[in-house]
Amino acid sequence: MDAIVFAALVPGGVADAPVLEQPTADPVVSGAACEAGRQAAEQRVSGAAVHPTASEPVLEASAPGEPEVSAPEAATDALEAGAADSSVQGRRLGAPVPEPAEEVFGNRDTTPEPEAVASATEAGGTDPTTLVRAVGDPAPEAVPAPRGFVPPPVLTRPVNSLHHARELPGQEWAVPDTVIDEADYEGLHLRAASLRGDKHRYERSTRQDAFGLHEIEHSGHRFVLACVADGVGSRPRSHRGAAYVCRMLHNVVAENMESLGEDVQEGGRRVVGVLARGMIDLAGREHFPADELSTTLTAVLIRVPEGEGRAPYLTMSVGDSPLFRLKDGVWRPLNVEPDEDGLILDTRTDALPDQASTVVVQTGELDLGDVLMLCTDGLSGPMGAPAVAEQLADWWGAGPVPGRMEFGWQLDFQAKSYNDDRTAVCVWRR
């Protein structure tokens, strides 16, 4: 197998190494809090008392000396204050009018109280007043929120202010900025995400990475087929090539399951050869050079285990999109051979359709607790830094399998000097 270096440390030592940064969470207010504030404000305007029920607090009319507020103004104030201003939401009969808490911009306590989180989990809701309040304020009394929810965090801090998405891509056959997918089987759990890089966002060019998740049935068994493809950046239609191979691979593998079972090497070469010819035919029909579709391809075919049975797999790869196995907290490359320093010695890579003959076919078996990861160099490059590799191993190792949105968020970390598209497919054997 040719030595293909997958990762690179930024020259210049530790100061220039990629840094894994976690986005911060902005203060959030639940919809239940806003609705409660709006209703309370309307009650204050009308001066009417709310008839209590066994589980609801009593709201009183405006206290003597309080200014009258018009309905639109009160509703606006309530929506802006959300759960933080209990005087807008209502208070118990006889309770004094609280002093307004002083707002400190950028210094908000957004961490829910443990008791609130526990009650929210049990009751399907939470007290929105525990979600957002000024630092130093005492915890307010619980207000029932039968259909409330804990809002997701608001993620901010882009890696580079110059690399915001500037409008939509202007290319033909442009693909979405971000794609996330998941699937769970007995014994296998799949998570996948493909994110457009900051450079492509800034240039208004489309994401050139792609992935595919497919199921195949053969001889009474179910198989999962996963793949990633990285369109060659210098080729104008490489995003089409990457999307094409990830979409067509399912049909080609399904038609060649017999040959893959008889001779994996010959079967793998046949599969990749059919894909390459399809790319050449596509270019011929539309009258452009086939190498404009150039893309890498790494794929794995895994048999879905029965109970704690075996989970054998077969891999096929053309180019430098690596395949890793996470075992006992350590990432082990399966189809690439980095040098001692993790440096990229040659940025060129084999690619379809021209280098179909360079396909590398391997077989293996996933043990319980293992994770198999296919990715593009937008992820394997930053993984050359130990901090990045260790954090991903911590997230995706022995703990619970992340949800699809959590997986996408984890993949969207910020690493200095890396602004390429980033794609990964992980398969957990649990």
Q: pLDDT tens, 273-329?
A: 999 999 999 999 999 999 999 999 999 999 999 887 889 999 999 999 999 999 999
The DSSP-derived string for 221-282 is: EEEEEEEEEEB-TTSTTHHHHHHHHHHHHHHHHHHTHHHHHH-HHHHHHHHHHHHHHHHHHH
Q: Which residue has the higher pLDDT, 337 or 267?
A: 267
The CA distance from 373 to 335, in Å, is: 11
Check the CA dihedral 351-259-3-225 and report its sign. positive
Lowest mean pLDDT among 3-17, 247-261, 408-422: 3-17
Q: Which residue has the higher pLDDT, 1 or 294?
A: 294
Considering the chain, what percentage of its residues have pLDDT values greater than 70? Answer: 59
Q: Which residue has the higher pLDDT, 9 or 418?
A: 418
pLDDT at residue number 308: 79
Q: pLDDT tens, 105-129?
A: 233 333 444 444 444 444 444 443 3
Whether residue 358 has pLDDT greater than 90: yes
Is the CB of residue 293 less than 8 Å from the CB of residue 283?
A: yes
pLDDT at residue number 272: 98
Q: How confident is the model at residue 340 (pLDDT cuts 50, 70, 90)?
A: low
Report the largest interatomic distance among the alpha carbons of the chain, rounded to a whole angstrom.
Answer: 88
Q: What is the pTM of this model?
A: 0.66
The CA distance from 193 to 248, in Å, is: 19
pLDDT at residue number 309: 82
Q: What are phi and psi of 193, to 5 degrees?
A: -155, 145
Question: What's the whole-number average pLDDT of the chain?
Answer: 74
Q: pLDDT tens, 160-178?
A: 566 677 789 989 999 999 9
Amino acid at 105: F
* The two structure tokens encoding residue 144: 């029932």
Whether residue 135 has pLDDT greater than 70: no
Q: Provide the 3-class DSSP secondary structure of residue 383.
A: helix
Give, in degrees to the nearest 5, the angle at Cα 207 between 289 and 413.
145
The CA distance from 324 to 389, in Å, is: 11
b/e sequence 280-291, b meaning 16+ C-beta within 10 Å:
bebbeeeeeebb
